[in-house]
Structure 1
Amino acid sequence: MTVSDFATYIAGLPRVIAGAAALFRDGDGRVLLVEPNYREGWALPGGTIESDEGETPRQGARRETAEEIGLDIALGRLLAVDWVPGTARPPLVAYLYDGGVLGEDQLKAIRLQEEELLSWRLVPRDDLAAHLPGALGRRVLAALDVLAEGSGTAELENGHRVG
């Protein structure tokens, strides 16, 4: 294979979107959710990984968290990796990291990125499905299960555990 053939081969490979987020909780175990202004529903602090900048998933989650809620926090372990098939967009691989438990001072220090977010709230586990439907909701619940188990990482496909 020539260099030109290889470049053509690479250019023809399917595209995948990579995203990363952080799972923050308060002392009562409630999950921090943010409300985007560019789509319906709720989300976790996070976003697209800037791979053209050489950013890793962990770096992307930390950068997005700092940008979106104003907290620059070293993230804990990887809780879940989710392959979400594409329909109207390319497939997504989503990384979810442990953001830890936020103290009262950290919660008071949250400053929303006004260009992207309307509000934030803390949501108990039992209410997450109403705020995070579909793969994202299943991903967050799987990550909470991993935290409760004390080790491991959830391998997910469209939010469902595999393996």
Structure 2
Amino acid sequence: MKSSRHRFVFRSVWRLDAHPARVFAALERAGEYPEWWPQVREVHALEESSGRGRIRSVLPFDLRITGRAVRHDPAAGVLEMEIDGDVAGWARWTVREGGPSRSGRTVAVYEQQVEVRRPLMRRLAVPARPFLRANHALMMRAGRRGLERWLRRGLDDD
């Protein structure tokens, strides 16, 4: 990544009351994200390990990305992908056991490092940085809540 002014680094920690294997299984099925994550509007498979997506949170623009899996390691609880499109870089989920039920049996850590490539976003990267970061935080909060509901629904079906 070339320019730090166009670069964003994000980290979110989700504590979830579900078994780590169930959380990993939900996170590895990116094609189902639009069913539980409101801001992930579309996901289309390109090949077995790649796909295209459209994401939109509070700000009035869509992000279009292509992702390609570079690591799928259930034993280590790691899912990692390269990202290209309106932003370029990488994203990684790390899923591990998180302790007793009240604090969440699973901890899912999302890390992302991207550089904005879309011309409008590059112009706004510095002056709008707080808004872009807040937009991402809102998206991640909604994703955690959506995944919690999704995982509970799956338990109710059992």
TM-score with structure 1 setting the length: 0.29
More strand by share: 2
Larger Rg: 1
